[in-house]
């Protein structure tokens, strides 16, 4: 394949069609073998050593995963990738790799996925990784915190959950480069169609492929993409700790990724239409969507994101009219006829989630309030259905 210019084209062709003989399979097979041998044992020796490209033992990699890794690395503009069993294992692996030869101090964004905050505080902090939280929407505060704490690495998300703040990744990337700090970016909500963090100074990009990349609600997986100098750290950590994605999931993810740019374009367009309808709805108090002019980071989103794309996540506060928040939200969610009230995001179907009982359940109410997550806030992952059907279902449930 020569002309692999466009992301839509690369999503269909990269990683696939490795020649093994005189014939070539159109899609990458599911390689289930846990071990591999060669005609010459010397080649197996060189495979273990890393001087021969080829499989040896499944914890070190397998051809199905490698095809997926090549595909996602290509979409992100990275030099390599490592497919993991979940988004959380990818986040953990990226942090550990970033800190391998650094001060074990992490500067993390205040606005992070709930399970990530939990991992930082309940797993990594007790294991000796000191974490400081700061507002990544304030580059001056980040700059001051870097000077004060001298972190080995920084951790941020491109679009925060559930308030959908867009941090100025370009400014943060510039600080990271200038201070020689590793920058780990969880880009699950933005995907490589909307934003490619490596172009803005990130050293590690993480995805929960469970979401947009696989996209069909049937795979749990994650991936870390990185720059050439960081790949050896990633690979040796993965060999030592064994967090790899299984070959069946790698296959399903790869199948999903072929249509991801198409789905994502549609989801982003549906989100623009839905956010507009919600903002005009009498039962809606406030809408958070980076494509709306009143969003605090509208200018940052316009500067960083691909033209006309703002992601496909929306969150909004429902007017309570005297009802307790929880009852009001439950009534709305129970009244939905087509939109699915389930936990995930990024799937083909539109989904609604109540952060207070799910993604941010583990956080103390005080911590939630400090983050600005109100009790009447719901989060919407806009799917690929017809926008008018999504809007009609939300409308009837809001009136219930």
Ligand X SMILES: *Cc1c(COP(=O)(O)O)cnc(C)c1O
222 binds ligand X (CB under 6 A): yes
Residue 184 or 398: which CB sits closer to ligand X? 184
Residue 156 or 397: which CB sits closer to ligand X? 156
How far, in Å, CA of 292 to CA of 327, rounded? Answer: 28
Q: Give me the 159-178 binding string for ligand X, x by CB under 6 A, dash otherwise.
A: --x-----------------
Closest approach of ligand X to the CB of residue 342, in Å: 13
Confirm whether 4 is a catalytic residue. Answer: no
Residue 227 or 344: which CB sits closer to ligand X? 344
How far, in Å, CA of 44 to CA of 295, rounded? Answer: 56
* DSSP conformation letters of 182-204: EEEEE-TTTHHHH--GGGGT-SE
Confirm whether 113 is a catalytic residue. Answer: yes
**59, 102, 235, 331: which one is catalytic?**
59
How far, in Å, CA of 358 to CA of 220, rounded? Answer: 17
Nearest Cα neighbor of 201 from 219, 186, 183 is 183
- Pair 210, 345: CB distance under 8 Å: no
User: Which residue minimizes CB distance to ligand X?
Assistant: 87
Closest approach of ligand X to the CB of residue 116, in Å: 6
208 binds ligand X (CB under 6 A): yes
Confirm whether 59 is a catalytic residue. Answer: yes
Q: Give me the 67-96 binding string for ligand X, x by CB under 6 A, dash otherwise.
A: -------------------xxx--x-----
Nearest Cα neighbor of 247 from 83, 71, 53 is 83
3-state secondary structure of 225: strand
Confirm whether 177 is a catalytic residue. Answer: no
Phi, then psi, of 301 in degrees rounded to 5 = -60, -45
190 binds ligand X (CB under 6 A): no
Residue 113 or 305: which CB sits closer to ligand X? 113
220 binds ligand X (CB under 6 A): yes
Closest approach of ligand X to the CB of residue 110, in Å: 14
Residues at the interface with ligand X (CB under 6 A):
86-88, 91, 113, 115-116, 157, 161, 186, 188-189, 208, 210-211, 220, 222
């Amino acid at each position: 394949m020569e002309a692999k210019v466009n992301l839509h084209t690369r999503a269909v062709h990269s990683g696939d069609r490795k020649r093994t003989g005189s014939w070539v399979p159109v899609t990458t097979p599911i390689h289930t073998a846990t071990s591999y041998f060669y005609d010459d044992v010397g080649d197996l020796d060189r495979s273990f050593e890393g001087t021969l490209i080829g499989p040896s033992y499944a914890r070190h990699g397998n051809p199905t995963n490698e095809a997926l890794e090549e595909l996602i690395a290509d979409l992100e503009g990275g030099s390599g990738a490592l497919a993991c069993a979940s988004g959380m294992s990818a986040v953990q692996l990226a942090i550990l790799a970033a800190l391998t030869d650094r001060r074990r101090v992490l500067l993390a964004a205040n606005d992070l996925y709930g399970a990530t905050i939990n991992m930082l505080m309940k797993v990594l902090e007790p294991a000796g990784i000191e974490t400081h939280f700061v507002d990544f929407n304030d580059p001056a505060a980040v700059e001051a915190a870097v000077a004060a704490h001298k972190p080995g690495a920084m951790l941020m998300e491109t679009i925060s959950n559930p308030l959908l703040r867009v941090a100025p990744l370009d400014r943060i990337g510039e600080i990271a480069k200038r201070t020689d700090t590793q920058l780990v970016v969880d880009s699950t909500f933005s995907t490589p169609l909307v934003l490619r963090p490596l172009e803005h100074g990130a050293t590690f990009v993480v995805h929960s492929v469970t979401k947009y990349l696989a996209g069909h609600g049937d795979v749990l997986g994650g991936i870390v993409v990185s720059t050439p100098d960081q790949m050896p750290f990633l690979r040796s950590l993965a060999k030592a700790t064994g967090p790899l994605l299984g070959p069946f999931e790698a296959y399903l993810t790869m199948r999903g990724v072929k249509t991801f740019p198409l789905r994502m374009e549609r989801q982003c367009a549906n989100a623009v239409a839905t956010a507009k309808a919600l903002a005009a709805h009498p039962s809606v108090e406030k809408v958070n969507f980076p494509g709306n002019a009143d969003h605090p980071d509208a200018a940052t989103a316009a500067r960083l994101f691909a033209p006309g794309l703002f992601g496909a996540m929306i969150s909004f506060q429902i007017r309570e009219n005297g009802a307790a928040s929880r009852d009001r939200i439950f009534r709305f969610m129970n009244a939905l006829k087509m939109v699915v009230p389930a936990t995930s995001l990024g799937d083909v179907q539109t989904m609604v989630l109540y952060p207070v009982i799910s993604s941010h359940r583990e956080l103390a109410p005080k911590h939630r309030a400090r983050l600005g997550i109100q009790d009447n806030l719901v989060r919407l992952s806009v799917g690929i259905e017809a926008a008018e059907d999504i809007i009609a279902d939300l409308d009837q449930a809001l009136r219930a």
